[in-house]
Amino acid sequence: MADNRIKRDSDTRETNTRKRSWQRPEVLPSPTPEAGYEFHWVRVATQGQADATNVSSKLREGWEPVKASDHPEITMVNVEHERFAENVVIGGLMLCKAPTELVAERTDYYNNQTRSQMQSVDNNLMRENDPRMPIFNERKSTVSFGKGG
């Protein structure tokens, strides 16, 4: 009776895994992470027109263009802009990096700006409040699903 059994070593995980389905490749490849740096794609051109204002703004914010020689894992077919020939540029976007602390400070700055604007809107809204018809200012959202059929 024990002679009919299939040997356990022939039944492995590799033989039982499903075939992977095709996935669309990512449009912008992810560079190999560097300790202490965050990466960001900066617009260099839109519809073939150079966007010098955006590039100079991002460089002033602290983003540094990444050299193509520093990230050989990102393959490029051709150089789109002569000015950025040494950098990683794909589809009008140039890969840049900045120190993690700088990115955190920038995020905090914009979060404070948003919080201040929301507080201003709330104050303006509540100034129009009337006790006969109070305004409720609840910032909650819920998700509900239909019952079907």
Domain residue ranges in the chain: 36-100
Neighbour-count burial for 20-44, b at 16+ CB within 10 Å, e otherwise: eeeeeeeeeeebeeeeebbbebbeb
Which band of pLDDT confidence, cut at 50, 70 and 90, is reported for residue 29?
A: confident
**Cβ–Cβ under 8 Å, residues 66 and 59:** no
**Cβ–Cβ under 8 Å, residues 87 and 95:** yes
Q: What percent of the chain has pLDDT over 70?
A: 77
For residues 26 and 58, give the distance between their C-alpha atoms in angstroms, rounded to a whole number. 24
What is the per-residue pLDDT across 36-77, written as a single tens digit (0 to 9) for each?
Answer: 999 999 999 888 888 889 999 999 999 999 988 888 888 665
Q: What pTM does this model have? A: 0.58
Average pLDDT, the chain: 80
Q: What is the mean pLDDT of residues 101-108?
A: 93
For residues 77 and 21, give the distance between their C-alpha atoms in angstroms, rounded to a whole number. 27
Which band of pLDDT confidence, cut at 50, 70 and 90, is reported for residue 17?
A: low
Residue 124 has pLDDT above 60, yes or no: yes
What is the helix (H) or strand (E) element at residue 129, kind and residue range?
none
For residues 22 and 44, give the distance between their C-alpha atoms in angstroms, rounded to a whole number. 31
Alpha helices in 33-99, H assignment, sequence order: 52-61
